[in-house]
Structures are given as C-alpha cells and as structure tokens.
A and B are shown apart, each in its own frame.
Chain A
C-alpha cells in the first residue's frame, strides 16, 4: 500500500533559521506530490504541488520543495522562517487511478521569535 513518511514530528526553530522538512513516499510509479499547511485553528491550505516538469517547485510564502525521484522524496524548504510560519505541515501524495490523497503524519513547526 502507498504510504507517506514525515520523519520530523516536531521542529522548533528560531526566526530567520532555515527549514527543511522531510517527506518520503513508498509508491514506485508516477505520483503527484503536495505540501499542505494548517495554521492553528484554520483549515488546510495548499503550499505547493508537483505534477511533472521542473523538480524544484516554488510555492506560496517563500516555500519550495524538491522532488528527487531516486530517493522517493519531496522535501519542503524555506531559507528563513518567520514566527507566522508556526503551523502543522502535511505532505501528501496521489497517483493516476487513486485521486484521493494519502497524507503523512504531519510535522509541527514551532518558530520562536
């Protein structure tokens, strides 16, 4: 079965620090990859997505992610985090024939001022 792993469960950073959140998936075929963010008390919002093409994807709010097919990874990065980035981050995957998303367990990011 398809699975998504997020190894960082809770990350604490100071403002201006760089961020990288890991995401690995288990499916070997063609996949679509997503990062969603859930700010406290709010609903899931799409940060960025990868379907095909340039493996380096830029999203909203300065986030980017790189798809590395050989590593089955889609890590999320931001060069300099802000206090307002404090949120829960979810990596998700779907594929042709399985449109529903499979989510990772989420990473709680806490940015300290």
Chain B
C-alpha cells in the first residue's frame, strides 16, 4: 500500500511554456502533499506544502506565481511551472502524507524530470 504516482515522469519543453505535473495517492487519501525539488547530486529541498481545499504554503524564496499548486481532491495535487525557463530544469518530487498506524509518514512519488530548452 501507500503508493504515490507522478505524471509525467519526464518532460521537455520550450522556454516560456507552462508544464503541469500531477501527483496522485493511489490507495490512500492525503489531505496534505508536499512538493520538493532535487538538483543533481543534491538533497531534496521543500518547495511548498499543498493542503486539500486550501491555498498552498510556499517556502521562502519559492515564487508562488511561478509554481502554481492546486490540491483539488484528497488524492490529487498538481504543480504547474508557468513560463518555464532553463533554470527551472530540475527533478520535481511530490510526497503524500498518510498514516502508518498512528504515525504520519510521507510516501514519495517517482519524480518528474523537467528539461526546459
């Protein structure tokens, strides 16, 4: 159980276009999902916390108008990179918060590799 999927797994786009990434919890409901960014050979950096039915909470330095997050249901959160530029190229990973017994645990998706040309 506790499977999280992401779509697409890989996307190449032209500079100036927008890209939407979906994160789904397949076998559990997640009121909270998280979006991380991972640069090559570096750790995961939290971008934002996505709460179902409310606005996302962004980390300092993350532009909310550039990285639009929508969490319309208990199993789906989307991240839209608007007007993408080459510096937005990265590996984007989502996680969904679920309960393992009484312990809240984050389960991670496989990630989406974005390349902006």
Contact = CB atoms under 8 A, between A and B. Distances in A.
Main secondary structure of the interface of B (DSSP, over half): strand
Could you say which interface size class chain B belongs to? Answer: 20 to 34
Given A49-B103, A49-B105, A101-B34, A43 B46 contact: no
Interface stretch (B12-20, B69-77, B107-115): B107-115
A51 interface: yes
B108 A105 contact: no
B32 interface: yes
Pick the most buried of B100, B106, B110, B111: most chain A CB atoms within 10 A of its CB.
Answer: B106
Interface string A2-23: 0000000000000000000000
Contacts of B42: 105-106
B23 to A, nearest CB: 12
Contacts of B46: 100-102
20 contacts: A34-B105, A34-B106, A43-B93, A43-B108, A44-B44, A44-B93, A44-B95, A44-B108, A45-B108, A49-B100, A49-B103, A49-B105, A99-B97, A101-B34, A103-B43, A103-B44, A103-B45, A104-B43, A105-B42, A106-B42
Interface of A: 32, 34, 36, 42-46, 49, 51, 90, 99-106
